[in-house]
């Protein structure tokens, strides 16, 4: 499978000409820092089991917006070697091809009787293409909002832990005061290029030619 000679992409060519992508990246970084500051306070003393090399949270369909993807991809292009980025692209394309029908549903209206695509989260499972062979997240400093919230927040309302089974087991039956994911999603939605949510393989497939439409920004 080829990567079409497009490992190094000028991301500004993918966005509207009147949008300052650099400024948007800075605004996103400020949001991430605010979140990290809040997480430090709300998880202090919980002794969470999360550590480098544990990839229990990286086999689920964590969604990200176009802005988050472009920021993450910009970071990857700066930090990874050609061979490492090549590996990410190939893995992303293979995952997309194996799950194409399910992934493409994320860009269609929810099924009749559903308010969102939450049911797809339960059926869409894959090893994140950003993971290295040793289970480390290669984009960790620039990872998306929901990846930052996973393992240390309530999913929609207090009591619905947004975490893997390891964290859930450690925190069960404990009194917790955690952030709520939807509150931070609202703040994210105030930034440009946040109208859409899908998974890394979908964006990679669009960048490298496997989907009929260019990246939906």
CA 121, 124, 126, 129 dihedral sign is: negative
- The rounded distance, in Å, linking the Cα atoms of 37 and 32 is 9
φ/ψ of residue 32, rounded to 5 = -60, -40
> Which one is predicted more confidently, 156 or 202?
202
Contact indicator for 178, 187 with CB cutoff of 8 Å: no
Burial zone of 107 (CB within 10 Å; 0-12 exposed, 13-18 middle, 19+ buried): middle
Strand partners, 198: 64
Residue 56: per-residue pLDDT: 83
Residue 4: per-residue pLDDT: 46
- Integer-rounded Cα radius of gyration of the chain: 17
Residue 22: per-residue pLDDT: 93
Strand partners, 161: 154
Contact indicator for 9, 77 with CB cutoff of 8 Å: yes
Residue 37: per-residue pLDDT: 96
Q: Angle 66-79/82-98 helices, nearest 10 degrees?
A: 140
* 96, pLDDT greater than 90: yes
* 133, pLDDT greater than 50: yes
Is the whole model's pTM more than 0.75, yes or no? Answer: yes
End-to-end CA gap in the chain? 26
């Amino acid at each position: 499978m080829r990567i079409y000679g497009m490992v190094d992409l000028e991301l500004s060519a993918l966005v509207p000409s009147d949008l300052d992508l650099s400024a948007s990246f800075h605004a996103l970084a400020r949001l991430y820092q605010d979140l990290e500051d809040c997480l430090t306070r709300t998880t202090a003393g919980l002794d969470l089991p999360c550590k480098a090399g544990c990839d229990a949270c990286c086999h689920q369909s964590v969604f990200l917006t176009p802005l988050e993807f472009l920021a993450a991809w910009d970071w990857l292009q700066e930090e990874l070697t050609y061979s490492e980025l090549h590996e990410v692209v190939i893995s992303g394309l293979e995952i997309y091809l194996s799950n194409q029908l399910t992934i493409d549903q994320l860009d269609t209206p929810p099924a009749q009787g559903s308010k969102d695509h939450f049911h797809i989260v339960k059926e869409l499972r894959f090893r994140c293409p950003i993971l290295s062979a040793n289970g480390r997240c290669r984009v960790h400093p620039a990872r998306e909002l929901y990846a930052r919230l996973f393992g240390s927040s309530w999913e929609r309302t207090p009591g619905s832990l947004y975490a893997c089974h390891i964290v859930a087991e450690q925190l069960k039956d404990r009194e917790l005061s955690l952030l709520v994911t939807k509150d931070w999603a609202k703040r994210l939605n105030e930034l440009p290029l946040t109208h859409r949510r899908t998974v890394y393989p979908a964006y990679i497939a669009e960048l490298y030619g496997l989907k009929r439409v260019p990246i939906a920004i």
